[in-house]
């Protein structure tokens, strides 16, 4: 019997719901259950979800990440940024740079080629916002750590893209000395970031016009969904960052529209099934069979990135005189890594195919580990900081 895509969507939704409730019994975040549901149903366990189907459902990932980035943009309210000053920028930069440096140096010490170590170091700077946002929403977390976390994660992606662009430029210049693509690879990440922010800002400004004429929640939900999807689509067409573009749109909207908070509340009402499907599909895409292949390189990457994020966040917090809870607990919430890191590893694989296998193996295995332990660490950290009660 051949089932339709609707059957598999129903299977994904219901299995995610059941696994989310099951892990809740042992006090784990729902997102951990969603990922486990995907792993078990996916092509590397029960094979109920085939690799082709997982690829076909990539649209769900695009939708979810677009809404997540849009939601993170709401944290960039100017009144909040003026209050915290440069704190979140310094913390994000310190955490990203220390993770990148520790991973690169450690891999070189154990004998990994410098080019591979440098690229993996740059990829290590990225943090996945999706799992973090899900935990915050599930437990309705509020407080200094939560506020700092959302802003730091948003800035983190821009830093990761810049570091990766420069790393690609260095590796290209080493592999193909004297060729212009090396210089262009330095300029391209800057263009990507600036272009994403400017176009996102423009869309955030345009977003306000239909809100003047449509007051009903149902109509405003349609407008919101349309703008979020359009923002993600235009980013893909123009080779920009959907995360940064959607985040920029949300940031501009929250600062110029009195209706912004109502819009973000409406978006929160429609996204739970999208987020659930995203994590189940993400879990199905995690190839657990590659775990034995990565060996010492994978272990060093996972451990040194963890250390870099935690201590980088701590030192950044000390420099900026952040609240004690931010110093102690923020770093542990920056562990999840998924979409951005996988995307950067794909770019590295295409641009430098000779390094594709080790880079992909390490990043995918690290994603598997981080996406399972990251949400748990986020919940524990926020609870210890006194920002959730569950």
pLDDT at 278: 84
Q: Given pLDDT bands bounded at 50, 70 and 90, which one contains residue 263?
A: very high
Q: How far apart are CA 195 and CA 214, in angstroms?
A: 29
pLDDT at 386 over 60: yes
Alpha-carbon gap, residue 386 to 383, rounded angstroms: 5
pLDDT in tens, 85-144: 677 788 888 888 898 899 899 988 888 888 888 888 888 887 776 677 777 777 777 777
383 exposed, middle or buried (CB, 10 Å; 0-12, 13-18, 19+)?
A: middle
Is the torsion defined by CA of 252, 254, 257, 262 positive or negative?
A: positive
Q: How far is CA 69 from CA 73, 111, 246, 339, in A?
A: 6, 38, 5, 12
The number of residues in the chain equals 390
Chain centre distance of CA 224:
21
The span from the CA of 174 to the CA of 178, in Å, is: 9
Check residue 4 and give left, alpha or beta (phi > 0: left; psi -120 to 50: alpha). beta
Confidence at residue 342, expressed as pLDDT on a 0 to 100 scale: 67
290 pLDDT above the threshold of 90: no
**46 C-beta neighbours (distance < 10 Å), count:** 10
DSSP 123-178: HHT---HHHHHHHHHHHT--SHHHHHHHHHHHHHHHHHHHHHHHHHHHHHHHHSTT
DSSP state of 290: G
Tell me the two tokens of residue 147.
Answer: 């506020």
Distance CA 241, CA 181 (A): 20
**Tens-digit pLDDT profile for residues 267-279:** 888 888 988 898 8
Average pLDDT score over the chain: 81
Give pLDDT, residue 58. 80
Instruction: Look at residue 220 and tell me whether its pLDDT is greater than 80.
Output: yes
Domains and CATH numbers, the chain: 16-181+264-384 (1.20.1530.20)
Burial annotation 313-332 (CB, 10 A radius, 16+ → b, else e): bbbbbeebebeebbbbbbbb
Q: What is the pLDDT of residue 340?
A: 67
Closest CA to 335 of 205, 159, 149: 149
Helix (H, G, I), strand (E, B) or coil at 77: coil
- The whole model's pTM is what? 0.73
What is the C-alpha to C-alpha distance for residues 136 and 271, in angstroms, rounded to an integer?
A: 14
Short-list 159, 152, 165, 189, CA closest to 97: 159
CB atoms within 10 A of CB 156: 25
Q: Which residues of 68-93 are buried (b: 16+ CB within 10 A; e: fewer)?
A: bbbbbbbbbbeeebeebeebbbbbbb
Q: What is the pLDDT of residue 291?
A: 65
Least confident of 147-156, 240-249, 274-283, 339-348: 339-348
Half-sphere exposure (Cβ direction) of 301: Cα atoms closer than 13 Å: 33
Q: Express as a percent the part of the chain with pLDDT over 70.
A: 85
Extended strands (E) in 157-247: none
Most confident of 32-36, 66-70, 224-228: 224-228
Q: What is the mean pLDDT of residues 303-312?
A: 88
- The radius of gyration of the chain's CA atoms, rounded to the nearest angstrom, is 20
């Amino acid at each position: 019997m051949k089932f339709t895509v609707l059957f598999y969507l129903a299977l994904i939704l219901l299995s995610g719901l059941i696994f989310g409730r099951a892990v809740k019994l042992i006090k784990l975040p729902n997102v951990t259950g969603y990922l486990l549901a995907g792993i078990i149903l996916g092509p590397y366990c029960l094979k109920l979800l085939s690799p082709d189907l997982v690829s076909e459902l990539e649209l769900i990932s695009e939708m979810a990440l677009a809404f997540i980035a849009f939601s993170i943009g709401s944290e960039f309210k100017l009144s909040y940024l003026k209050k915290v000053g440069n704190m979140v920028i310094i913390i994000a930069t310190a955490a990203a740079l220390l993770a990148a440096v520790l991973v690169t140096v450690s891999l070189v010490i154990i004998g990994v080629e410098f080019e591979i170590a440098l690229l993996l170091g740059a990829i290590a700077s990225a943090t996945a916002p999706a799992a973090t946002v899900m935990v915050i929403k599930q437990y309705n977390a509020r407080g200094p750590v939560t506020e700092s976390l959302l802003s730091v994660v948003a800035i983190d992606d821009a830093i990761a893209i810049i570091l990766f662009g420069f790393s690609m430029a260095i590796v290209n210049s080493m592999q193909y000395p004297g060729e212009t693509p090396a210089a262009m690879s330095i300029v391209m990440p800057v263009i990507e970031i600036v272009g994403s922010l400017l176009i996102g800002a423009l869309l955030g400004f345009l977003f306000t016009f239909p809100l003047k004429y449509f007051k009903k929640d149902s109509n405003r939900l349609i407008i919101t969904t349309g703008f979020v999807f359009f923002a993600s689509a235009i980013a893909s067409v123009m080779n920009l960052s959907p995360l940064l573009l959607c985040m920029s749109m949300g940031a501009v909207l929250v600062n110029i529209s009195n209706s912004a908070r109502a819009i973000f509340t409406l978006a929160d009402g429609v996204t739970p099934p999208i987020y659930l499907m995203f994590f189940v599909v993400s879990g199905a895409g995690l190839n657990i069979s590659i775990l034995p292949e990565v060996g010492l390189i994978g272990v060093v990457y996972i451990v040194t990135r963890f250390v870099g994020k935690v201590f980088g966040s701590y030192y950044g917090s000390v420099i900026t005189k952040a609240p004690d809870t931010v110093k102690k607990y923020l770093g542990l919430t920056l562990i999840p890594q998924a979409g951005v890191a996988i995307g950067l590893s794909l770019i590295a694989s295409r641009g430098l195919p000779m390094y594709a296998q080790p880079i992909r193996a390490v990043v995918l295995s690290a994603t598997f580990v981080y996406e399972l332990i990251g949400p748990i660490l986020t919940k524990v950290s926020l609870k210890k900081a006194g920002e959730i009660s569950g």
